[in-house]
Structure 1
Amino acid sequence: MAKTIMVIDDSASLRQVVGIALKGAGYDVIEARDGADALARLNGQKINLVVSDVNMPNMDGISFVKHFKALPNYRFTPVIMLTTESQEEKKREGQAAGAKAWVVKPFKPEVLLNAVQKLCLP
């Protein structure tokens, strides 16, 4: 059975690029346009990994991670932040919220896929 990855980004073109890379590697993809949209799409189904932007309207990525990690079903689900943010302070904030990896845009799909393969829950 394919593993499911949620991709959260306010940029439709970025969601598409990430989605193509993940689908090409055999993953199922659920897309969301921001943290609030992502939380609304969670219906208890198994999510093996989340790839989230940091800067988004309605609910940013770090706030999303805090809410997501508070849900019992998703407490141990790994989150990769995919963002233009590269400051150490933002990275620490992301890690404190529960993010496991930080990939800076622009990114190479193979770098992202490598991180996904390492972190994706069985």
Structure 2
Amino acid sequence: MNVLAVDDSRTIRNMVTLALTQAGITSQVAEDGVHGLEVLSQMAPDAIITDINMPRMDGFEFIQEVRKQDAYQGIPILVLTTESAQDMKLRARQAGATGWIVKPFDPAKLVGALRMVTGG
């Protein structure tokens, strides 16, 4: 499995990468939505993990931009964020998100959620 992880926090990117690597999952990282779209254009991920609150392009806009591209319609997108409000979750689902995980996260639950949404 290959995953794109988008988060403006270097610490979170490192934590996600470590959790995925330990589970045998490869990953690419990006620091915000703009960078995420650039990285996405150079890979074929099985899933995407994205934060919501990021500079330049937030997670909602990033998800919408990903979903506009036919090649990425079926790719699961998990939101990994500190936000827990129901209206934010609804907004993410409307943008095209598949699931929602609140930070701080349990690495095993993150990997489990990825495996569930990808069927792997």
Q: Structure 1-normalised TM-score?
A: 0.94
Identity %: 34
Alignment of 1:72-91 (within 5 A): 72-91=70-89
Where 1:40 maps in the other structure, the secondary structure is helix
What corresponds to 1:66 in structure 2? 64
Q: Which runs of 4+ in 1 moved over 3 A?
A: none
Distance in 1 (CA, whole Å) between partners of 2:65 and 2:91 is 14
What corresponds to 2:109 in structure 1? 111
Distance in 1 (CA, whole Å) between partners of 2:89 and 2:57 is 17
Where 1:54 maps in the other structure, the secondary structure is coil
* Structure 2: gaps spanning 5 or more residues: none
Answer whether contact 1:4 1:49 (CA < 8 A) is retained: yes
Aligned residues: 120
> How big is the alpha-carbon RMSD for the aligned residues of Structure 1 and Structure 2?
1.2
Distance in 1 (CA, whole Å) between partners of 2:70 and 2:95 is 15
Distance in 2 (CA, whole Å) between partners of 1:11 and 1:43 is 22
Distance in 2 (CA, whole Å) between partners of 1:48 and 1:80 is 11
Distance in 2 (CA, whole Å) between partners of 1:82 and 1:116 is 12
Alignment deviations for residues 79-108 of structure 1 (CA, whole Å, 9 cap, x no partner)? 000000000000000000111110001111
Alignment deviations for residues 18-66 of structure 1 (CA, whole Å, 9 cap, x no partner)? 1000011111100000000000112253210001000000000111000
* Structure 1: gaps spanning 5 or more residues: none
